[in-house]
Amino acid sequence: MKKFIIFPVLIFLSVALKANIRLPNVINNNMVLQQQSTVKLWGWAGPNEKVYITTSWNNKLDSVVTTRDANWMLTVQTPAAGGPYTITLKGENTIVLNNVLIGEVWVCAGQSNMEMNYNWGLPDVKAALANCANSNIRFFYIPKSTAKYPQDNCGGEWVNCDSNTLKSFSAVGYFFGKKLNADLNVPIGLINANWGGTPAETWAEAAAINSDTALKTAAAKQQPYDWWPYEPGAAFNGMIAPISNYSIAGAIWYQGEGNTIAPDTYSKLLTTMIGTWRKAWNKELPFYYVQIAPYSYGNKYISSIIREQQTKAMAYPSVGMAVITDLVDNIKDIHPKNKHTVGDRLANWALAETYHKQGLLYKSPMYKSMEVQKEKAIISFDNAPNGLMAKDKVVSEIYIAGTDKIFYAGAAKIDNNKLIVTSPKVLQPVAVRFAFSNTAMANLFSKEGLPVNSFRTDDWELDRSKEQ
C-alpha cells in the first residue's frame, strides 16, 4: 500500500524540480550591457537545473547550474560597444533577449530635481522632443518602491529613447546621456532611480547609517511625511539593491534639499551613501553630483551649509560636483527649470574623469587660500587657469570681516585667478565669504563660463534663525 502512495509523490517531486527560467526585469530585451566588462546575468529556475546561455557577439555557449534555492548567476565578457545582439537562455524553456546593445551604463538617482521631466513643464525637454528619437540611448525607469530588506528584483523595462518615453524620464539624466552618446559615439543605458523629497539616508544601506552615532542622530530628525520614505535603507533596499548585480560605469546624483533639517553631517552622509553603493557593486564607482541651487529655505544659511558640505565631499575619491548657482531664475522655486546645462556639466565631469577626454574645462573655480596684506584679503582659486571674470563687471556677493566677526560688503578686484577684497570698514581682514547665503546668485565665473563655488574662509558659528 505504501508503494502506491510514494510512487506518485516521487513523480510529482521530479516534475516540481523542473521550472521555467525567469529573469529580473533589468535583464531583458533592449538592455544596454557595460562594454568590455565582466557582466553578470542572473535569474531563477528549478533547483539544480542546468541553464545554457549563448551570446551572439561571440556565439559562445556557457552553462550554469542553479542552486538548491533556485538561483543562478553567470558572468560573461562583453566586447567593445556595438550591437544589436541577442542572448539565448535554454533550460526547461527558451528565452531569447533581442536588441541588446553594448555600451556605457549609468544610474541617475536622487530626489525631485533628478526626477523632473517633460511633465513638469521643462522647456528644454519640450524643445528636444521633435528630434530626440535615438535607438542608441535606452531608458530603464525604476518605479518608486521601498523594502525593509534588500530585494532581488524591481519593476521597470528597457525602452528606446523617443518622444514618448522621454516624457517620463529624468531630464538631467537624458541630457547627460545625450552628451555622452554624442561625444563617445557609443550606446548609452540610463537607469532612473529617484523619488522627490527623499533624504539621502533612505538611499544608503541602513546598517551604515545606524552604526554611526552622528548619522543616526541626524536621521532621527527627519520628519515623516505621506509622500516619501525617510527611514534609512528603504529606497536602497527597494530600488538600488535589485540592480546592484547589473554592471554600470557610474552614477550621477542630484539631492540634498531633503537633508536641510540636519545639514552639518551631509558630507559624511553623502560619502557614506556612496560607500554603500560601491560596496554593493564591489567597485569604486565614479559618482558625480549636483550642488543644490540657491533657494529661500526660511532658515539662515541652511542651504549654504549643504553646499559647503557638498564641497567637502569632493575630497572623497572618484567624485565630482557640478556647481549650478548661475542656473536659477526664481529663488522661490526649489525646482530650477534649466536641466539641460545641469546634464551637460555632469557629462563633462564623466567625459574628463571617467573617459579621459582631453581639453574639457569642467571644474568650477574653488577657493584655495587667503593671504592678508595690510587691509587687503587676497583670495586664490583652483580651477581658474585663464583667470576670473565678473559678468556685470562688479563682483557681487562678496563680504569681508575683521576680528569683530561682523561682515561688510566688500569691493573685489580681479587679478587673474585671484580676488583682492577690501572694505573701508575692515582695516584688518580676518575672513571673507563669497555667495555664502541661501539665495546668493553671484556673478563671478571662470573665463570659460563656470560659476565660482561659494565659500567662506572662517569656521565661525552660523546664525540658524529664521530669515526675515
Q: Which of 36, 61, 39 is nearest to 51 (CA)?
A: 61
Please give the pLDDT value at position 468: 61
Q: Where in the chain is the domain with CATH 2.60.40.10?
A: 2-101
Q: Give yes or no for residue 16 having a pLDDT over 80.
A: no
Are 215 and 383 within 8 A, CB to CB? no
Separation CA 371–CA 388 (nearest Å) = 18
Q: Give yes or no for residue 386 having a pLDDT over 70.
A: yes
pLDDT tens digits along 219-275: 999 999 999 999 999 999 999 999 999 999 999 999 999 999 999 999 999 999 999
**CATH superfamily label, 2-101:** Immunoglobulins (2.60.40.10)
Q: What is the 3-state secondary structure (H, E, C) of 326-370?
A: CCCCCCCCCCCCCCHHHHHHHHHHHHHHHCCCCCCCCCCCEEEEE
Radius of gyration of the chain (CA): 26
Which burial class, exposed, middle or buried, applies to 302 when counting CB atoms under 10 A from its CB (0-12, 13-18, 19+)? buried
> Residue 299: which pLDDT band, with cuts at 50, 70 and 90?
confident
> Residue 12: which pLDDT band, with cuts at 50, 70 and 90?
very low
- CATH level 3 topology of 106-354: Rossmann fold (3.40.50)
> Residue 466: which pLDDT band, with cuts at 50, 70 and 90?
confident
Q: Where in the chain is the domain with CATH 3.40.50.1110?
A: 106-354
DSSP code of 465?
A: S
CA 158-169-244 angle, to 5 degrees, is 50
> Residue 7: which pLDDT band, with cuts at 50, 70 and 90?
very low
Are 466 and 298 within 8 A, CB to CB? yes
Q: What is the mean pLDDT of residues 4-25?
A: 61
> Residue 6: which pLDDT band, with cuts at 50, 70 and 90?
very low
Please give the pLDDT value at position 14: 43
